Structure 1
């Protein structure tokens, strides 16, 4: 009979997420992870497999939380333009209480791992696709209500907004001058006109 786990798996995942977010995948050691998670190496291996499997679990959890958070913020905005402004402002300020210097964990993975790991390349493509679909539906809704011009191409604008958001997320890690990124966001939002 297997022994019950002596730790809260969700808390351990949250702690591991913080380590990966702060250091990146490659720079995060098993010792860093077990120390922050409050577990021993054998427990990490028994519960998650290895470092890569732990990161996959962390990334899946992060993506699910991130998409739900973004969708809630977009759906609760008074208008499509306000929804997009809130989304981009969240990247600048660090939405959900995160540090903007850390960036989006999925975008970080896109930069660090996706170029040479097919699993993470596919994962980050799927994440982008889900965000693009959310934006696409939001823009279509704005066209239906008359807020946005019927001449807009919702699919093309959604893709352009997502690519801009990824670029902004990476840029925020360099601690740019705030007025520069805020001016850039104003230009990005003209895509909705």
Structure 2
């Protein structure tokens, strides 16, 4: 039937996302996507028009889930534990797979100059920063911060990008976790009482 997709879109997007995650945006071809999804190139072009549109559609779902997961980690009532949970989740995600898959956002950012993709990736990191800022602006958190909440949020997001690189070169979860914990301790004064 014309105009009706003859494939499972959710499954196709998930498989495409894995290819982008493994190879990076720049190194992924439409042929790679067709092979991984089991959907013919012509059907992929018909449904998504081009590689960029397919990536953006797949990334949208990934980013939404990622931000929900980040918010869940940050919901811990103790700010120090919330930040440690945030980094533990981030590190575990980057080390997942064999070989480890790394960070989709960073891989995509390093593999394209496309303005639309860059804007979506920037928006994702901005959302992460906003979630951190909201958590750091709570009364109990603000009282412990050694720097203003906006500065702390920016430093924490920047650290996640550093963790991406270090996870690639030194995929040692204990070392990465210890480094993140050092940053968290430097941003927070000891609790009063």
State the TM-score, normalized to the length of structure 2. Answer: 0.86
Query: Which of 136, 150, 173 lines up with 2:133 in the alignment?
Result: 136
| Structure 1 unpaired stretches of 5+ | none
How many Å apart are 1:139 and its aligned residue? 0.7
Secondary structure at the aligned position of 2:6 is classed as coil
State the TM-score, normalized to the length of structure 1. Answer: 0.86
2:120 alignment counterpart: 123
* Cα separation, 1, equivalents of 2:37 and 2:149: 43
2:4 alignment counterpart: 4
Change (3 A) 1:139 1:146: closer
How many Å apart are 1:155 and its aligned residue? 0.5
* Cα separation, 1, equivalents of 2:119 and 2:14: 23
Change (3 A) 1:189 1:119: same
1:37 alignment counterpart: 37
1:26 alignment counterpart: 26
Task: Say if 2:136 and 2:149, in contact at 8 Å, map to a contact too.
Answer: yes
Task: Say if 1:107 and 1:170, in contact at 8 Å, map to a contact too.
Answer: no
Corresponding residue pairs, total: 187
* Cα separation, 1, equivalents of 2:101 and 2:126: 22
1:182 alignment counterpart: 177
* 2:72 is equivalent to residue 72 of structure 1: yes
* Cα separation, 2, equivalents of 1:33 and 1:48: 12
| Structure 2 unpaired stretches of 5+ | none
* Cα separation, 2, equivalents of 1:126 and 1:176: 27
How many Å apart are 1:146 and its aligned residue? 6.1
* Cα separation, 2, equivalents of 1:19 and 1:110: 15
* Cα separation, 1, equivalents of 2:172 and 2:145: 35
* 2:110 is equivalent to residue 111 of structure 1: yes
Task: Say if 1:91 and 1:169, in contact at 8 Å, map to a contact too.
Answer: no
Secondary structure at the aligned position of 2:169 is classed as coil
Change (3 A) 1:183 1:119: same
